Structure 1
Amino acid sequence: MSARDEILGRVRSALRDAPAAPQPDRTYRRTSTMSEDARIELLVDRLVDYKAKVQVVGPDQVADRIADLLAGTGDCVVPAGFTAAWLPADNPETGPRIKTDGPESPLALAELDGADAVLTASAAAVAQTGTIILDGSPGQGRRAISLVPDRHICVVEAAGITELLPEALARLDGTRPITMISGPSATSDIELERVEGVHGPRNLEVVIVRSRRA
């Protein structure tokens, strides 16, 4: 028997006579009828309030906008599976220099720390809270790449934006490594002095992509 099995066995034994946990109250609102434009507007408002930089583009403008954001950048980490059509040309002389991080060839921590930026997609976003959600799927990568580099550029597609958190959670696989991002990394001490970049990127830039209109 492994230590894990032994510990879980003790927990089950201790809880054997415990009363069943009551079902949680689910009368809270779990769906919305906001239009795409309204959801984007609300998400932008929340992200800007959190000191993120946000740009809203059409589906055919993503590559050009990312190229503008990465102009003059050195090393940029991109997770395996990121949409290739959104990537600027790899230019070792003038940048950006694209470094792909994937399960088969993960970058070393020193390479992540030395990168100028990381570029990822997202699994979902919650307009009401200004939260972007990554779940480690292709194009989003492992958690470390969105935490170590000091600049995170994240692409959010309008189809993945919900108004409410329960809506977003219903779309996710809860067994995946979920990361929720609400603005750049920031914390405050007891005197409310704001410090940025302590446990994640100091700079968050979001590119919101509208759905293709008929």
Structure 2
Amino acid sequence: MSPAVDVPPAPRSPDRGDLVALFVERVEDYRAVVTRTGSADLGETVARVLDGATVVVPEGLDLDLPGAVVDDGLTAAELDRIDAVVTRAAVGIAETGTIVLDHGPGQGRRIISLVPDRHVCIVDVAQVVADVPDAIALLDPARPTTWVSGPSATSDIELDRVEGVHGPRTLHVVLVD
């Protein structure tokens, strides 16, 4: 019998920079747009991304966007007349390019992330994790979640891709360094 050898466990994920790079690559694979910015320039960056669009924001977004309507229970019909929504994310998953909303402060009700045609989602680089198990470990199982992997899309039997059928046609991720 050979003596036991202490072998350090293999790292579960790449270093932080690689994780963020993989997240960006995977998000872009889903036909979403990624814009990187610093926290000091976040408001200006989001305003530039919106480019004058009408916008709804959830309570607790903590970002000054002139002209933005704060969701106070807007109806689906009212939301349908708004061009874009800006939310924050609870977590971003590098392996899948997925953004998870747990509908806490700054994320709002599920309907506001699904009805407007454009979803601008703010993700902090510190929120990016390697994979789904890492994300689940951070989420409260008692909270509802919405998992977003690119703009809304579906395919028919001939595999013709159609975007925007059951949610936003455009996803724009603002990644904050």
Give the secondary-structure state (helix, strand or coil) at the position aligned to 2:60: coil
Within the alignment, does 1:198 sit opposite 2:165 as a pair? yes
2:70 corresponds in structure 1 to: 100
Which letter maps to 2:61? F
* Counterparts of residues 36-75 of structure 1 (less than 5 Å): 36-73=16-53, 75=54
TM-score (norm 2): 0.91
TM-score (norm 1): 0.75
How far is the alpha carbon of 1:58 from its aligned partner? Answer: 1.7
| 1:32–1:164 contact (8 Å) kept in structure 2 | no
2:5 corresponds in structure 1 to: none
How far is the alpha carbon of 1:72 from its aligned partner? Answer: 2.0
1:77 corresponds in structure 2 to: 56
* Distance (whole Å) between structure 2 residues aligned to residue 131 and residue 71 of structure 1: 25
Give the secondary-structure state (helix, strand or coil) at the position aligned to 1:191: coil
Deviation sequence 1:77-125 (CA, Å, 0-9, x none): 00000023xx33x2xxxxxx21101xxx311211111101000000001
2:4 corresponds in structure 1 to: none
How far is the alpha carbon of 1:148 from its aligned partner? Answer: 0.6
Which letter maps to 2:148? I
| 2:13–2:19 contact (8 Å) kept in structure 1 | no
The structure whose RCO (Cα within 8 Å, separation 6+) is larger is 2
| 1:48–1:54 contact (8 Å) kept in structure 2 | yes
Give the secondary-structure state (helix, strand or coil) at the position aligned to 1:46: helix
Within the alignment, does 1:136 sit opposite 2:103 as a pair? yes
Deviation sequence 1:143-168 (CA, Å, 0-9, x none): 00000111000000111110111011
Larger radius of gyration: 1
Within the alignment, does 1:117 sit opposite 2:96 as a pair? no
1:127 corresponds in structure 2 to: 94
The 4+ residue runs of structure 1 with deviation greater than 3 A are none
* Distance (whole Å) between structure 2 residues aligned to residue 69 and residue 150 of structure 1: 14
Gaps of 5+ in 1: 1-30, 91-96
* Distance (whole Å) between structure 2 residues aligned to residue 37 and residue 62 of structure 1: 20
Number of residue-to-residue matches in the alignment: 168
1:164 corresponds in structure 2 to: 131
Kindly, what percent of the aligned residue pairs are identical?
Answer: 49
2:7 corresponds in structure 1 to: none
1:20 corresponds in structure 2 to: none
* Distance (whole Å) between structure 2 residues aligned to residue 171 and residue 47 of structure 1: 20
Which letter maps to 1:164? D
Within the alignment, does 1:149 sit opposite 2:116 as a pair? yes
* Distance (whole Å) between structure 2 residues aligned to residue 70 and residue 179 of structure 1: 22
Give the secondary-structure state (helix, strand or coil) at the position aligned to 2:18: helix
* Counterparts of residues 203-214 of structure 1 (less than 5 Å): 203-210=170-177
